[in-house]
Amino acid sequence: MLAFIEKIAVDKKCQQWHCSSVSEVGNRLKNARHAKGLSLREFAKRFEEDFSLLARIEAGERYPPKPRLKKFAEVLSLTPKQLEALIAVERRGLDPFEMLPEIVPAAVPTGSIEAAAEGILSTYSRTLNGAVVDGPIPVADVIKLACGLFTEYLDFEKERIPSPRGGDLYGCLYPNGFRGRDRVVLVNAGNIGGRRLSPAEQMVTIAHEAGHYVLHYGSKDSKQLLFRFSKAPTYCREQEIEPAPFNLKEDQATMFAACLLMPQSPFLNAWSHTPGDECRLASQFAVTESLVRVRAESLGCE
């Protein structure tokens, strides 16, 4: 397996991948600790490992030492060979979800996604001297000011925007290198199956791709070298903005979109006045009804 990974790395000239501001290994370790309700120091003591080593692994600055792979693999719910392969893939900057499809991505708690979306909105508000957004979230403006992401509307067929896995694209995110620009969210303004995206679908698509950037991409200043290279684009199809966890990474991006476009307090207030009226709530927040269902479920609304 490692020899195969090495060959792919050479063939692709190390086309780089980044799954988060930390590595997938770091994400899994942090989730294992959170699942036990332990602080990092408590976890280190129980796990009988050095506190600073675990902190650096969670931060994406180190990997588990080879002599202790078996021990780490057990707590990460992996086999030693899977962990060794995952580390090899990450070191070479390849996409772990493409190279190792048998390894389920690390889960991101809904609370963390909620906090990430709230952080983006807070940053946007500060750029406007604390102004509060009244009405639908101006998502293109929000991600531009808070994340430095630019939104472009293009006819994907005319512009020949590629769809690697086939199917009609709603949008895509180019973290690096779209026609000389970085951090670009593209929205398909052309015909998709004989129709065009509605304004609500465009809003959700933009927020979904922003979710990939916030949750699954990191800073070029990361201490691990591989996280500072170019990153491959992500692609969004209709099924990937629907609330179906067939792909954990896409499901996380959809949850982020729901949290960003329907902040908790305004949504709960609106729900209290029109409980269960998905059509009216979708209209109020300028989103799709399916995203309203995602948000309602995440907040325990009945």
Are 60 and 227 contacting, i.e. CB atoms less than 8 angstroms apart? yes
Structural domains for the chain: 2-99 (1.10.260.40), 110-298 (no CATH)
pLDDT one-digit tens code per residue, 20-66: 344 789 888 988 888 778 899 999 998 899 999 999 999 888 999 99
Are 248 and 107 contacting, i.e. CB atoms less than 8 angstroms apart? yes
| Confidence at residue 158, expressed as pLDDT on a 0 to 100 scale | 93
User: Is the pLDDT at 5 greater than 80, yes or no?
Assistant: no
| Confidence at residue 122, expressed as pLDDT on a 0 to 100 scale | 94
pLDDT one-digit tens code per residue, 101-150: 677 667 778 888 999 999 999 999 999 887 777 789 999 999 999 999 99
Q: Coil, strand or helix: which one is 194?
A: coil
| Confidence at residue 109, expressed as pLDDT on a 0 to 100 scale | 80
| Confidence at residue 241, expressed as pLDDT on a 0 to 100 scale | 58
pLDDT one-digit tens code per residue, 9-19: 433 333 333 33
In Å, how far from its chain's centre is CA 192? Answer: 24
pTM across the whole model: 0.71
Are 257 and 170 contacting, i.e. CB atoms less than 8 angstroms apart? no
